[in-house]
Structure 1
Amino acid sequence: MKTLFFSLLISLCATNLFAQMIKPADPFAHTYSIVARDSATGEMAVGVQSHWFSVGTVVSWAEAGVGAIATQSFANVSFGPRGLALLREGKSPQQVLDELLRDDEAREYRQVAIIDPQGRVAVHTGNKCVDYAGHTSGTNFSVQANMMLNDKVWPAMAKSFEKNKNLPLAERVLAAMQAGQAAGGDIRGQQSAAILVVKGQSSNKPWEDKLIDLRVDDNPQPLQELERLLRVFRAYEHMNRGDLAIEKGNMQEAMQEYTAAEKMFPNNIEMQYWHAITLANGGKTAEAAAMLKKIFKKDKNWQEMTRRLPKAGLLQVSEKELKQLLGE
C-alpha cells in the first residue's frame, strides 16, 4: 500500500499541478486526531495516531490559555504556530481557520481542527483528502480523519469522547483514539501516536503549563505503548506528590503517594528505592533495610547511591542506621 501511495504521489507531481500546490516540506501526515477541552478543568488536548513516523511532531500544537490545533492530511505545519498566534490575538477558531485557508492553494488537500479555551471549535476537511475522510465536532471537541479504512472511524471517536466524561482529559482522548482504531483506523495500519495536554489558562510559566507531552514515534502498536506511557506518567505524578509531601514534613501522605505509584508501576526499582529511603528517614530502619536488601540484590549501584545520600541531606540517619540500611 505504501509503495502504491508514493507511486501515486510521483505521478501527481509529474502533472506539475500537484507539485505547485504541495511544497516538499509538507509532511504526508494522513491520520486521525482529536482536539478537545475538559469543561471541568479547562485543559485542552490534541491526540493523534497515524501510519507515519513521529506524527506528533507534525500534527499536534497547543498553548495554555490560547488553544489547541491539529494540522494533517498533506499537512501545512505552519498552521500550528500561525494558528496559535492568531488565537493569541483574540480571533475565534473560525476566524483563524478562514485566515489560514484563505491563501493556501492546497486547502482542499488539508485537514485542520482548532479549539480555544472557551471550547469553540472550527474544522476543515478538504474535498481532495484521501478517502475515507471526514470530521465530527461537538461540545468541547472535534474529531477528524483521512485515509481511513472506512467511514466509521471518526463517528466512533466522537461517541467514545462523549460517553467517557468521567475520565481525565488525557485518558479520555486516548480512549477516543482507541475507539477509532477499533472501528478500522488508518487503512495503512499503525506506526506513531501522541498526546499533548496544556492548561486552560496560562500561568505565565510555560514550563508548568504543558501538562502532558507523550509521543510514540515508531512502534507497531503505538496506542498500546502510549497507554503504557500514560500509566507510567500517572505513577510518577504520585511520586512527585510524595516528594512534595516530604518537603512539607507530611510523611504519612508521602507514603500513601509512593505506595500508589508502586502499585501502578510495580517493576520500577527507583520507586521502590525512594519508598525505602522515606521509611528510613521516618525512623523505620528495619523495614527500609528489608526493602533495600531486595533492591541491592537486583542492582548494586543503588547501594552506592545510598552511601552518597547523607552528604546531600537526603538520608538523615545515624552511622549505625546507615550500616544497617547498607546491610553491613
Structure 2
Amino acid sequence: MTFSIVGRCPETGQLGIAISSSSIAVGARCPWVRTGVGAVATQNVTLPALGPQILDLLESQQIEPAAALDRALSANGWSQYRQVTVIDGQGRTAFFSGKEALGVHNAVAGKQCVAAGNLLAGVQVIEAMVQAFENAPGMLAERLLAAMHAAMRAGGEAGPVHSAALKVVGDVTWPIVDLRVDWADEDPIGQLDALWQAYRPQMQDYLVRALDPTAAPSYGVPGNE
C-alpha cells in the first residue's frame, strides 16, 4: 500500500522524505519534515497526527527518535496498525511496524536513512531502497528519488502505485522542495521525478525571491518584470 524513505544529507543538513502509495494523495497525509529537527513518515493505516507530535517531541524534549516514536505511539493507541519511520537532525533513526501492518512489510535503517513499506512485492524492495540511497550521488532530493526508482525495479508494491510525494527542508523554515502527484493511473514516481527535473533549475530562484526580493529573477510573465 505504501513505501517510503526518510533521509538526511550530512553535508548540507537537509532532511527529506520520498513516499508513494496505491492510495490517493499520499503527500497530504504521510510525510512530515521540520528544518533542523527531523523527518517522519506515517503510513499503513496512517494517523497523520503522529508526524507533528514526534517532531514536537524531538524539538522540545530533545530526546532520541526511538523515545519520541514510543511516546507518540503510546499516547495515541492503535499502534498495532501503524508503520512509522523517523530521522532526526543528527541523523539518528527509529522505526516501528505494528503487528497489523498490511501484507508483506519491512523496515530497514541505513546510513542517514530509514526505508519502510507495507503490502510489498517482497522484503527486498526496502533493502533495495536503502542501498540505492546510500550509493546515489547528488542532492538529497535526487538520492531520495533514486531510492524510489530502486524500489520499483525491485518489485514495488503488490498492487499498482497511484500517488507519490517528495519533501525536503534546508536552512529556511519552509520546505525548499514540496512536490506531489496526487493521482496517476501510471508511473506516479516517474511523474514526480519529472516535476523535480522541472523544479530543480528554479529552486534557488524561489529562495532568492523570498529572502531578497530586490534580487528576484523575472520570468517574463505579466506583472513580473
Q: TM-score, normalised by structure 2?
A: 0.89
Partner of 1:60: 31
AA of the residue aligned to 1:118:
Q
1:127 offset after TM fit, Å?
2.1
Question: Counterpart of 1:102 in 2: which secondary structure?
Answer: helix
Unaligned runs of 5+ in 2: none
After the TM superposition, which residues 1-328 of structure 1 pair with which residues of structure 2 at under 5 Å, given as runs? 30-89=1-60, 90-164=62-136, 166-199=137-170, 203=172, 206=173, 209-219=174-184, 220-237=186-203, 274=220, 314=225
Counterparts of 2:58 and 2:182, CA distance in 1 = 28
Partner of 1:19: none
Which has a greater percent of strand? 2
Counterparts of 2:127 and 2:204, CA distance in 1 = 35
Counterparts of 1:45 and 1:79, CA distance in 2 = 17
Counterparts of 1:241 and 1:65, CA distance in 2 = 17
Flag the 1:66–1:240 CA change in 2: closer, same or farther, 3 A: closer
8 A Cα contact 2:168 2:178, kept in partner: yes
Q: TM-score, normalised by structure 1?
A: 0.62
Counterparts of 2:207 and 2:32, CA distance in 1 = 28
RCO higher in 1 or 2 (8 Å CA, sep ≥ 6)?
2
Which has a greater percent of helix? 1
Question: Counterpart of 2:16 in 1: which secondary structure?
Answer: strand
Counterparts of 1:146 and 1:85, CA distance in 2 = 26
Flag the 1:46–1:147 CA change in 2: closer, same or farther, 3 A: same
Deviations 1:19-49 (A, max 9, x none): xxxxxxxxxxx30000100010000001100
Larger Rg: 1
The CA RMSD over aligned residues, in Å, is 2.5
1:242 offset after TM fit, Å?
9.7
Flag the 1:123–1:238 CA change in 2: closer, same or farther, 3 A: closer
Counterparts of 2:157 and 2:148, CA distance in 1 = 11
- Number of matched residues? 221
8 A Cα contact 2:176 2:203, kept in partner: no
Unaligned runs of 5+ in 1: 1-29, 249-253, 255-269, 275-301, 315-328
Percent of pairs identical after alignment?
33
Counterparts of 1:168 and 1:72, CA distance in 2 = 25
Flag the 1:242–1:107 CA change in 2: closer, same or farther, 3 A: closer
1:131 offset after TM fit, Å?
2.2
